[in-house]
Chains A and B, each alone.
Chain A
Amino acid sequence: MRSKGKKFKVNNSGQLLIVAALAIAILISATTVYVYELGNETSTVENESISNFILALKQSTRNAMIGSLANTSNGGEKTVLATNLNRLSEVVRSLHNFGLSQLYFNVLNNSLYDSGVWLSWNVSDYGVSSAYTNCTLTIEDIGTNVAVDYAFNITTTVTLNGYYIRLADDEKQVNLTCRVYNEEKSALAKELDIFYERLGSWIAVNSSNNLNIIDYGNGTYTISFTVNTPSSSVQVSINAYDLRDIFVRANTTCDEV
């Protein structure tokens, strides 16, 4: 009897160990699953937030460049771009969403661009107003170290070409086609002012010239007007403002057809 009782005790001790091991295993599993799920979800939400934050700052940089180019193309200094981006950098530095954010920029300087701005208005048949900047955005915090490089090219281009038909001796009907582009994509113009050259001076075209502008709604405009000039070719200039208030001038020479 005694030996049987001892044997039973030993058996029970083994069972208890198994049960205890099972309980501990359940506890460990539950904790592991919890930690894994929580870590996974938190990092996903945080990564998404940082991505959105970067996208928002990129958009702000783009807006600052558009405003700066609008300023410069309307007669402002070319240094306005760097000045405005500096102000934006200071604001970005004051944000503490994800630690320390810094926006570094480098305005393009080459044969075309000066202080990040290129204004080409005296070439025949087209005009360009453009701004180009390279940027680096860094976000530093405990466990976060992000550096994003990006560049923005803000360009408004206007192409202009046309011809004239002789109506009477010096009276001519000028027909023009004007196209407006923003970053090489068709864009609408906010305002088009047309001028022609007569005896060395530029004269604004208005309703007295039977001015007719057809807007095709896709960035293409056909323009016709009559002029009275003795020259065999008609010099035409167009001053265009796009919807972002960026100014561009384009010139062309119209010959008789």
Chain B
Amino acid sequence: MRSQNKGQIRIIEAFLAVLVIFSSFTIFSNLTVTRSVEKSGDLASIGLQALMKLDSNGNLGKFIDSKNWTALRDALDIVLPPSVCFNLTAYDETMNQVNDYAISNGALNSQEVAFVEYVCASQGVVFHCYIIYLHLAVAK
């Protein structure tokens, strides 16, 4: 009877240990997922702030108005961290693509690609409104 009970307790102990280990794995994996979500959010925030910085003095609109894509790419290269790859597409009010070639500093080879949608109103005497799609990823 006593040895039978001993076996039951062992089984329960083993069951408990499995539960504890399983729980810790569950919590750990969930925290990892949360952190990666946060990382993607951070990247989008970095991208949005970079666009706002360029737009604060009207330069973003001027680059698009003048179709100076090289200057726009160089400016983004400066305001974004060096490890971030980007791909920008500009559309007019009727969603026709404005840039005739890719404004990018490399391929987005990452599982996590952040996306930013930005409205750019030009400061020019002739008003133009653009919708900018910016994709960002951390370079590997």
Contact = CB atoms under 8 A, between A and B. Distances in A.
Given A48-B45, A49-B41, A30 B23 contact: yes
Given A12-B8, A63-B61, A71-B125, A88 B48 contact: no
A67 B34 contact: no
A117 B14 CA distance: 79
- Interface size grouping (class) on chain B: 35 or more
Interface in B71-92: none
A100 interface: no
B19 A26 contact: yes
A88 B129 contact: yes
Contacts of B61: 63
A91 B129 contact: yes
Contacts of B2: 8
- Interface size grouping (class) on chain A: 35 or more
A27 B23 contact: yes
A104 interface: no
B41 A70 contact: no
B66 interface: no
A23 B123 contact: no
B125 A5 contact: no
Interface string B1-34: 1100100110010011001100100110011011
Contact of A244 (B1, B5, B45, B123): B123
A214 to B, nearest CB: 25
B26 A63 contact: no
B108 interface: no
12 contacts: A26-B19, A37-B31, A60-B119, A60-B121, A63-B61, A63-B120, A66-B58, A70-B125, A87-B127, A92-B119, A95-B117, A245-B125
